[in-house]
Amino acid sequence: MKKLFLGTFLMSFMFILAACGSGNAQDPTEENAEAGGNSSVRGEGSSTVFPILNLLVEDFYAEEGTAVELGGNGTGSGFSNLTEGSADFANASRAIADEEIAALDDAGIEWTEFLVATDGLTIAVNQANDFIDYLTFEELKKIYSGEAENWSDVRDEFPDEPITAYGPDQSHGTHDFFNEEVMAEEGVQGELIQDTNQVVSSVVGDENSIGFFGFNFYIENEDQLKAVPVSLSEDEDAVEPTFENVMDFSYPLSRPLYVYASNQSLEEKETFRSFMEFVLNHSQAAAEESGYVPLEDDALQEQLSKLP
């Protein structure tokens, strides 16, 4: 059994503690402050984007000796922290919403949107499931609206067994993206969980289950899960969530992944500006290593041009 990302979160937390140091070791942020022009950097947001940024945080510390604090409590949490001024950047697995733009405007915070990779929101069932070969958006909507209580309610030839539907809760951009793209913003019903790793483990442990999460969560656990091809309708071919299909957006649930940065932090914190340049320059390798689809070269150059 492959380790879930919970271990990565804990490692990241311990990494930050180690980077801060104790005893005779000097805090890297203190060293930066003494050097002038730099200060601590903090990010919060999407658990889907977390693996990419976590690699970059570790590599940035290895090269620059500067610790960056990183959380992965969900896209909504990232925007809340950015609005409150407690984070320099917010990772997001969906585009910023109108109400979040308004909240940032009210707080007087200007921001810049950076693309860092592409993801394919993945529908998965337990490996013991031998009857699902694909699902349409309409069938997914039946499941996640609560209209279908048994699998036979989804399709007549499916067994008369109860469905347990899992997914990330409302704090996650993955939830919002699924609600918008599949549910027509009518709401998602099911066992909604804050920790995406628990969504994965719930599907692994329940033969009648179905779940949705980022492509990377599937890739890290593909020996225990069965990915479900998806079609927009019965009239269209179902498409598997693969690296190639996500890259060319033929997979219907492909989506960009973002970092939203405070303009003030970019302009006033030399460390943060350097970190964001490092993130973009190394995003392709980090995305691929994390199981996501990297930006093409032209798109990367467009993102780099946004830096002040």
192-206: pLDDT as tens digits: 999 999 999 999 999
Task: Tell me the average pLDDT across 237-245.
Answer: 96
Distance (Å, whole) CA 111 – CA 262: 5
The alpha carbon dihedral of 277, 10, 287, 180 has a sign of negative
Distance (Å, whole) CA 266 – CA 304: 13
Percentage with pLDDT > 70 across the chain:
88
Given a cut of 80, whether residue 3 has pLDDT beyond it is no
Q: How far is CA 52 from the centre of its chain?
A: 9
Given a cut of 90, whether residue 5 has pLDDT beyond it is no
Cα-atom radius of gyration of the chain, to the nearest Å?
20
Distance (Å, whole) CA 24 – CA 169: 43
Task: Tell me the average pLDDT across 225-240.
Answer: 96
Give the model's pLDDT for residue 6.
39
Q: Identify the band that residue 38 occupies on the pLDDT scale cut at 50, 70 and 90.
A: low
- Do 194 and 214 touch, CB atoms closer than 8 A? no
- Do 160 and 246 touch, CB atoms closer than 8 A? no
Distance (Å, whole) CA 231 – CA 47: 26
φ and ψ at 137, to 5 degrees? -60, -40
Given a cut of 70, whether residue 166 has pLDDT beyond it is yes
CATH code, 6-119+256-304:
3.40.190.10
Q: How would DSSP label each residue in 151-214?
A: GGGT-TTS-S-B-EEEEE-TTSHHHHHHHHHTSTTS---SEEES-HHHHHHHHHT-TTEEEEE-
- Do 43 and 90 touch, CB atoms closer than 8 A? yes
Q: Identify the band that residue 280 occupies on the pLDDT scale cut at 50, 70 and 90.
A: very high
Nearest partner of 107 among 87, 82, 90, 89, judged by Cα: 82
Select the highest-mean-pLDDT range: 17-21, 30-34, 97-101. Answer: 97-101
Provide the residue ranges of all domains of the chain, joining segments of one domain with +. Answer: 6-119+256-304, 122-252
Contacts of 280 (CB under 8 A, 6+ apart): 114, 116, 300, 303, 304, 307
Q: Do the domains 6-119+256-304 and 122-252 sit in the same CATH topology, yes or no?
A: yes
- Do 257 and 50 touch, CB atoms closer than 8 A? no
Please give the model's pTM, rounded to 2 decimal places: 0.78
Distance (Å, whole) CA 251 – CA 244: 9
Give the model's pLDDT for residue 144.
98
Select the highest-mean-pLDDT range: 18-22, 28-32, 270-274. Answer: 270-274
Rounded to the nearest 10°, the torsion over CA 217, 218, 221, 223 is -170
Task: Tell me the average pLDDT across 226-238.
Answer: 96
Query: Looking at residue 162, what DSSP letter applies?
Result: B
Q: pLDDT by residue (tens digit) across 53-79?
A: 999 999 999 999 999 999 999 999 999
Give the model's pLDDT for residue 305.
98
CATH architecture for segment(s) 122-252: 3-Layer(aba) Sandwich (3.40)
Given a cut of 50, whether residue 18 has pLDDT beyond it is no
Distance (Å, whole) CA 8 – CA 211: 21
